[in-house]
Structure 1
Amino acid sequence: MGTVYFVGAGSGDPELLTLKGKRVIESADVIIYDRLVNPVLLYLAKDSARFIYSGKYPKNHVLKQKNINQLLVKEGHQNQTVVRLKGGDPGIFGRVGEEIETLQSEGICYEIVPGVTAASAASSYSGIPLTHREYSSKVTLATAHRQVGETIDFKGLTDNGTICLYMGVEKVESTQKKLLEQNVSPKLPVAIIEWGSLGRQHTITATVQTMIDAINEQHIQNPALIIVGEVVSCREGADWFEQLPLFGHKMLLMDTETIDFETILTYTQQGADVYAIQVGEERDKRFDEVHKQYLNDHYFDEVVYLDPNLTMMYKNQRDILDK
Structure 2
Amino acid sequence: MGNVYFVGAGSGDPELLTLKGKRVLESADVIIYDRLVHPVLLYLAKDSARFIYSGKYPKNHVLKQKNINQLLLEEGRKNQIVVRLKGGDPGIFGRVGEEISILQSEGIGYEIIPGVTAASVASSYSGIPLTHRAYSSKVTLATAHRQAGEIIDFKDLTDNGTMCLYMGVEKVQSTQKKLLEQDVSPQLPVAIVEWGSLGRQRTVAATVQTLVKAIEEHQIQNPSLIILGDVVSCRNGADWFEQLPLFGHKILLIDTEKIDFEIIISYTQKGADVYAIQVGKNRDQRFDEVHQQYLRDHYFDEIIYLNEELTTMYKKQWDILNKKFV
So what's the TM-score if we normalise by structure 1?
0.98
C-alpha distance in structure 2 between counterparts of 1:190 and 1:179, whole Å: 12
SS of equivalent residue, structure 1 residue 31: strand
| 1:118-197 map, 5 Å | 118-197=118-197
Hey, what does 1:211 align to over in structure 2? 211
Change (3 A) 1:251 1:72: same
- CA deviations on 1:247-268 (whole Å, 9 max, x unpaired) are 0000000000011000001000
SS of equivalent residue, structure 1 residue 242: coil
Contact 1:292 1:321 in 2 (8 A): no
Change (3 A) 1:42 1:181: same
SS of equivalent residue, structure 2 residue 155: helix
| 1:1-323 map, 5 Å | 1-315=1-315, 319=319, 321-322=321-322
User: Percent of aligned pairs with the same residue?
Assistant: 83
C-alpha distance in structure 1 between counterparts of 2:215 and 2:315, whole Å: 34
Change (3 A) 1:84 1:271: same
Contact 1:295 1:317 in 2 (8 A): no
C-alpha distance in structure 2 between counterparts of 1:142 and 1:99, whole Å: 20
Unaligned stretches of 5+ residues in structure 1: none
- CA deviations on 1:118-141 (whole Å, 9 max, x unpaired) are 000000000000000000000000
Q: Once the 2 structures are TM-superposed, how far is the Cα of residue 321 of structure 1 from its aligned partner?
A: 4.7
SS of equivalent residue, structure 1 residue 293: helix
Change (3 A) 1:179 1:24: same
C-alpha distance in structure 2 between counterparts of 1:143 and 1:315, whole Å: 43
C-alpha distance in structure 2 between counterparts of 1:15 and 1:317, whole Å: 31
Contact 1:303 1:316 in 2 (8 A): no
SS of equivalent residue, structure 1 residue 43: helix
SS of equivalent residue, structure 2 residue 105: helix
Q: Once the 2 structures are TM-superposed, how far is the Cα of residue 317 of structure 1 from its aligned partner?
A: 10
SS of equivalent residue, structure 2 residue 242: helix
C-alpha distance in structure 2 between counterparts of 1:23 and 1:321, whole Å: 36
SS of equivalent residue, structure 1 residue 106: coil
C-alpha distance in structure 1 between counterparts of 2:215 and 2:59, whole Å: 21
Change (3 A) 1:288 1:320: farther
Contact 1:11 1:88 in 2 (8 A): yes
SS of equivalent residue, structure 1 residue 156: helix
Unaligned stretches of 5+ residues in structure 2: none
Q: Once the 2 structures are TM-superposed, how far is the Cα of residue 98 of structure 1 from its aligned partner?
A: 0.2
RMSD: 1.2
Q: Once the 2 structures are TM-superposed, how far is the Cα of residue 75 of structure 1 from its aligned partner?
A: 0.1
C-alpha distance in structure 1 between counterparts of 2:145 and 2:8, whole Å: 21
Q: Once the 2 structures are TM-superposed, how far is the Cα of residue 315 of structure 1 from its aligned partner?
A: 3.8
Contact 1:301 1:316 in 2 (8 A): no
Q: Once the 2 structures are TM-superposed, how far is the Cα of residue 312 of structure 1 from its aligned partner?
A: 1.7
| Matched residues, number | 323
Q: Once the 2 structures are TM-superposed, how far is the Cα of residue 316 of structure 1 from its aligned partner?
A: 8.7
- 1:45 maps to a residue whose letter is A
So what's the TM-score if we normalise by structure 2?
0.97
Contact 1:194 1:224 in 2 (8 A): yes
C-alpha distance in structure 1 between counterparts of 2:53 and 2:99, whole Å: 16
- CA deviations on 1:6-55 (whole Å, 9 max, x unpaired) are 00000000000000000000000000000000000000000000000000
- 2:93 maps to a residue whose letter is F
- 2:76 maps to a residue whose letter is G
- CA deviations on 1:168-223 (whole Å, 9 max, x unpaired) are 00000000000000000000000000000011100000000001111111110000
Change (3 A) 1:239 1:2: same
C-alpha distance in structure 2 between counterparts of 1:15 and 1:81, whole Å: 23
C-alpha distance in structure 1 between counterparts of 2:128 and 2:317, whole Å: 34
Contact 1:314 1:320 in 2 (8 A): no
